[in-house]
Amino acid sequence: MLRQVDRLVRALAGDTTRFLVHVDKKTSDQAFDDLVRASSDVPSVSFLDRHTCHYGGFGHVRATLKGIDHLVRGRAPFDYAVLLTGQDYPIKPVADIHAFFERHEGASFMAHRPLPSPYWSPRGGLDRIEYRHFRLRGRHLRLPGKRTFPPRLRPFGGGAYWCLSRACIEYVSAFVARRPDVVRFFTRVDVPDETFFQTIVMNSHLAETVVDDNLRYIDWSRGVRPANLGLGDLEELRRTPKLYARKFDITHDAAVLDAIDRELLGVSR
């Protein structure tokens, strides 16, 4: 699967693009080393310190915070940070993606809704945050006894992936340093990557700059999880105004990324 990460980086590479890559510690050291070597000819690729991520756990948020810390502390110029997984892929040319963000300078793009939400269950998503959750090696444990949400905040939720302005990224960095109690609380939230950043940003002075759209094409029509996209989805990918799509799996359909490169991005690899 790390071959897809290398391909994603190459699809988005450009003179003004930087990549911060986190690879789950559960991935073998050999596979990680292979990815580092494979991407060594791509400029501006940095690999973050690795840790273990379990589905539904705080590890995914922790990896993102490492990237944010790297950006803010490094003082390198950037206008937007885009959170992607190795199963994402652009469906618009890089020049069009850059032009989109230039046209919408100052806006951020993140799915969000206040909780409880009629779209989430159980109890509108409140079960995720009111109880302490533990996820480890595929096991999920919820402790009894409700707890109180951190003061001066209203919970928000949405998709796990986003495109945030520099102002939002700097605000998140400062908030995390200022409110360690909130970080501790979210370490026991279930699937916290779908609530942590929404809660911080949507309770800030930047809330009005956030568009309720994560700019991803995702097909939820085939089950409770996003469908693996393939060649049969190409026409829909061509029609959508979204910038990115997920999810792709080269063990499911290896040809679809070639078709996207050729027909949507106008490149050949």
Q: pLDDT digit string (tens) for 50-82?
A: 999 999 999 999 999 999 999 999 878 899 999
Q: Please check the confidence at residue 15 and state whether its pLDDT lies above 80.
A: yes
pLDDT digits (tens, 9 = 90+) for 200-253: 999 999 999 999 999 999 999 887 789 999 999 999 999 999 999 999 999 889
pLDDT number for residue 148: 96
pLDDT number for residue 2: 87
Report CA-CA distances (Å) from 225 to 212, 222, 269: 20, 8, 30
pLDDT number for residue 222: 84
pLDDT number for residue 101: 97
Q: Please check the confidence at residue 25 and state whether its pLDDT lies above 80.
A: yes
pLDDT number for residue 136: 82
Burial (CB count <10 Å: 0-12, 13-18, 19+), residue 137: exposed
pLDDT number for residue 254: 87
Q: What are the contacts of 202-206 at 24+ separation with CB within 8 A?
A: 202/112, 202/114, 202/154, 202/156, 203/152, 203/153, 203/154, 203/156, 204/168, 204/171, 204/175, 206/108, 206/165, 206/167, 206/168, 206/171
pLDDT number for residue 122: 87
pLDDT digits (tens, 9 = 90+) for 106-163: 999 999 999 999 989 889 999 999 999 999 888 999 999 999 999 999 999 999 999 9
As a three-state string, the secondary structure of the chain is CHHHHHHHHHHHCCCCCCEEECCCCCCCHHHHHHHHHHCCCCCCEEECCCCCCCCCCCHHHHHHHHHHHHHHHHCCCCCEEECCCCCEEECCCHHHHHHHHHHCCCCEECCCEECCCCCCCCHHHHHHHHCCEEEECCEEEECCCCCCCCCCCCCEECCCCCEEEHHHHHHHHHHHHHCHHHHHHHCCCCCHHHCHHHHHHHCCCCHHHEECCCCEECCCCCCCCCCCCCHHHHHHHHHCCCCEEECCCCCCCCHHHHHHHHHHHCCCC
How does residue 269 score in pLDDT terms, banded at 50, 70 and 90? Answer: low
Q: Please check the confidence at residue 1 and state whether its pLDDT lies above 80.
A: no
pLDDT number for residue 255: 94
Q: Please check the confidence at residue 182 and state whether its pLDDT lies above 80.
A: yes
The mean pLDDT value for 15-35 works out to: 95
Out of 1.25.40, 3.30.300, 2.60.120, 3.90.550, the CATH code matching 2-265 is 3.90.550
The ranges assigned to domains in the chain are: 2-265
pTM above 0.75, yes or no: yes
Look at 267 and 57; give whichever has higher pLDDT. 57
Nearest to 168 by CA among 213, 199, 189: 199
